[in-house]
């Protein structure tokens, strides 16, 4: 595998950043995960916009998007595959050991790994830990993801592929790496960004393409929703067939099936919507 590290492509074993990089020592970094299909990135412009927003939120210099695009293209060309997970990581760079950031400038790493198409349905659990809708990092896609690591491990222990969080106000928020949609009385809803969820790119496209409403929802809506689905870069639209102990009858419900179909069609027609 060939990886872009700070200006050049390197073999994986020679692709290194400093052990004093602030991304490693304190999680001071941001990232994007972009789907690639047959060597072409999906929705790259939206991902780069969010990368810039995350950088601003963390007080990192704005990334040079021409360089990031070149890095992505070079990595994709060097690693041909059918379905890929393109990972852009942009960190605080060489820094002192504490929380103060150094002035060496940010680091950029772009890597590509093979991905498998997700199953159409999956199980999720709820977790007791909360998302903070009022934190300094709320809405930013930072590399400080250890809370997600813990929650996702809990999901796997319970035979699920995702864990869903409430926010501190007890409202439905998001998953460790996905947004959530619910069907109530036949209508599609998803929590607003003010709930503290990431402004997911798949979420935004699904809202645009299905007309889903952004609605504040209590966390226990998961106990009564007629249908539930997840959205993320690598899940696209994925139906939920079990939440904790509750089976959702019928696997992929009608509203979810329609959202999946619309998403596949629209995404297939435009690689950079
Ligand atoms: C916390 C979190 N929420 C939601 C999402 C979904 O966002 P996207 O559709 O942009 O992949 C992600 C990213 O994968 C995420 O990390």
pLDDT score for 250: 72
236 lines ligand 1 (CB under 6 A): no
195 lines ligand 1 (CB under 6 A): no
198 lines ligand 1 (CB under 6 A): yes
* Residue-wise DSSP of 219-239: GGGGGT-SEEEEEETTTEEEE
Residue whose CB lies within 8 A of the most ligand 1 atoms, among 180, 200, 201, for a mutation test: 200
What residue's CA is closest to ligand 1, atom 16?
Answer: 177
106 lines ligand 1 (CB under 6 A): no
pLDDT score for 251: 78
Structure token digits, residue 241? 């067939």
201 lines ligand 1 (CB under 6 A): yes
Residues sharing a CB contact under 8 Å with residue 13, sequence separation 6 or more, in sequence order:
none
Which among 264, 162, 177 has a CA at the least distance from the CA of 222? 162
The Cα–Cα gap between 186 and 226 comes to 8
179 lines ligand 1 (CB under 6 A): yes
The Cα–Cα gap between 140 and 125 comes to 24
* 52 alpha carbon, distance to own chain's centre: 15
Atom of ligand 1 nearest to the CA of 231: 9
pTM of the full structure: 0.97
pLDDT score for 121: 97
pLDDT score for 163: 98
The Cα–Cα gap between 239 and 88 comes to 27
What are the pLDDT tens digits along the chain (273 aa)? 999 999 999 999 999 999 999 999 999 999 999 999 999 999 999 999 999 999 999 999 999 999 999 999 999 999 999 999 999 999 999 999 999 999 999 999 999 999 999 999 999 999 999 999 999 999 999 999 999 999 999 999 999 999 999 999 999 999 999 999 999 999 999 999 999 999 999 999 999 999 999 999 999 999 999 999 999 999 999 999 999 999 997 779 999 999 999 999 999 999 999
How remote is the CA of residue 96 from the centroid of ligand 1, in Å? 30
DSSP 21: B
Exposure letters 157-195 (e unless 16+ CB within 10 A, then b): eeebbbbbbbbeeebbbbbbbbbbbbbeeeebbbbbbeb
The Cα–Cα gap between 262 and 273 comes to 14
Q: Is the CB of residue 29 less than 8 Å from the CB of residue 142? A: yes
- CA-based max dimension of the chain: 56
161 lines ligand 1 (CB under 6 A): no
Atom of ligand 1 nearest to the CA of 141: 16
Atom of ligand 1 nearest to the CA of 174: 3
Structure token digits, residue 261? 């179909």
Q: Is the CB of residue 23 less than 8 Å from the CB of residue 17? A: yes
């Amino acid at each position: 595998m060939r990886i872009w590290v700070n200006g050049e492509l390197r073999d994986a074993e020679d692709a290194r950043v400093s052990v004093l990089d602030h991304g490693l020592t304190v999680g001071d970094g941001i990232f994007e995960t972009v789907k690639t299909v047959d060597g072409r990135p999906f929705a790259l412009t939206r991902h780069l916009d969010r990368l810039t927003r995350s950088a601003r939120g963390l007080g990192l210099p704005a990334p040079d998007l021409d360089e990031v695009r070149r890095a992505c293209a070079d990595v994709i060309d060097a690693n041909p595959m059918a379905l890929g997970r393109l990972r852009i990581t942009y960190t605080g760079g060489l820094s002192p050991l504490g929380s103060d950031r150094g002035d060496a400038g940010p680091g950029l790493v772009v890597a590509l790994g093979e991905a498998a198409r997700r199953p159409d349905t999956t199980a999720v659990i709820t977790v007791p830990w909360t998302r903070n809708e009022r934190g300094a990092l709320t809405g930013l896609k930072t590399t400080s993801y250890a809370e997600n690591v813990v929650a996702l491990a809990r999901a796997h222990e319970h035979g699920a592929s995702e864990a869903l969080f409430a926010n501190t106000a007890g409202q439905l928020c998001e998953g460790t790496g996905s947004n959530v949609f619910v069907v109530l009385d036949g209508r599609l809803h998803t929590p607003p960004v003010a709930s503290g969820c990431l402004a997911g790119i798949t979420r935004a496209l699904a809202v645009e393409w299905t007309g889903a409403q952004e609605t504040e929802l209590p966390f226990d809506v998961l106990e009564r929703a007629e249908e539930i689905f997840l959205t993320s870069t690598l899940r696209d639209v994925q139906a939920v067939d079990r939440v904790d102990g509750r089976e959702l009858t019928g696997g992929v419900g009608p509203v979810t099936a329609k959202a999946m179909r619309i998403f596949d069609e629209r995404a297939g027609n435009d690689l950079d919507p």
